[in-house]
Amino acid sequence: MSKKLRLTASAIAVAIVAVAGCSSKASHTSANQHVGASSGDKVSIMVGGLNKQIYLPFMLAQRLGFYSAEGLSISLSDEPAGVDATTAMLANKVDGVGGFYDHTIALQGIGKSAESVVSMLQVPGEVELCRTGLKGTIKSAADWKGRNLGITDVGSSTDFLTQYLAEKNGVNPSSTHRIGVQAGPTFIGAMQHKSIDCGMTTEPTVSKVLDSGLGYIIYDTRTAPGAQAAFGGPYPATSLYMSTSYVQAHPAIVQKLVNAYVKTLKWIQTHTADQITEQMPADYYAGVGKAAYSKALGSEKGIYNPTGIMPQGGPQTCLAVLSSFNPSVKGKNIDVTKTYTDEFVKKAQSTN
């Protein structure tokens, strides 16, 4: 890793040393721009990539009117790096984060208490792509020594999952060069200009790369078997997580939020990819085309958690992965039962 990259990683580690949900900036909003209802209990949620399909439930709940139906005024903001979203939550700048569940484990490792209140993705939905010209040369992470690897950003979940895959396959992560390229056009541009050899990203970027013949897949966690092969078990990803103090102080508001998301997850299960795509803002699929976006969504609908309940064994898998390399977690006494709660989801299921 370059000195600059090491310094950046160090700075982030000091600020949070946490695993972050992967992210990309939606074209219609920024970290300082918000979209939400105009009345009701006000809640601010920062999402690490609103236009990514792995974070689709956050915007879909709004488009379907489920927030307002619960009496909520939701402010959704987009942040290019999930690390920054988590930092904003810790600084009380936002109430909750739409990001990967594994944040909460890493946070406990540095003495911070946060918990997932609803699980939205039962697998990561991440795909490791390599440039087509390297087919036959790079067959797995075992071939990554000295390679440039694309990640969302330093300190993101793609960064940490990339490090895990390298170490698992006998390659010291420090012998790779991990470069933050976000997703969408910037990720694709990095591959086109050979700035990266391989990179981890999600839909709809994955389909764009494959359809253009620019890359090929070496790891695919859009399915349970793929996640099992890569990480050794179920790896729950997207969730709404909040500081434990907020959850304890505002249980009624948290319940309304979870009610909205449980409804959204059920709606996803009972509608087609085309019907879901129709609900999304046009700029979500502008870069790949509406048909391609819908096709990609249809092929990975199984990533969404149909119930919102934390997948059995998932927290233990996440802990095992983080314990293998993350200094915030390795060797620490982590109680995963304090990193999530199913209390609100179970109540939502009984009333909806």
E strands within 13-163? 41-47, 72-78, 96-100, 114-119, 127-131, 148-151
Count H helices and E strands in the chain, helices first. Answer: 15, 10
Residue 251 structure tokens: 């249980």
Residue 286 scores a pLDDT above 70? yes
Query: Are 50 and 199 found together in one domain?
Result: no
Q: Could you give the CA distance from residue 208 to residue 201 in angstroms, rounded to a whole number? A: 11
Asked whether residue 10 is assigned to any structural domain, the reply reads no
Query: Are 326 and 274 found together in one domain?
Result: yes
The parent domain of residue 267 ranges over 15-123+235-351
- pLDDT score for 82: 65
CA distances, 145 to each of 140, 169, 172, 197, 217 (Å):
11, 10, 8, 11, 18
Residue with tokens 């990819």: 273
Asked whether residue 286 is assigned to any structural domain, the reply reads yes
Query: Are 68 and 192 found together in one domain?
Result: no
pTM reported for the whole predicted model = 0.88
Q: Give the tens place of pLDDT for each residue, 30-85.
A: 333 344 444 689 999 999 888 999 999 999 999 999 999 999 999 999 986 666 78
CA distances, 186 to each of 49, 150, 190 (Å):
14, 10, 6
Query: Are 132 and 26 found together in one domain?
Result: no
Query: Are 40 and 168 found together in one domain?
Result: no
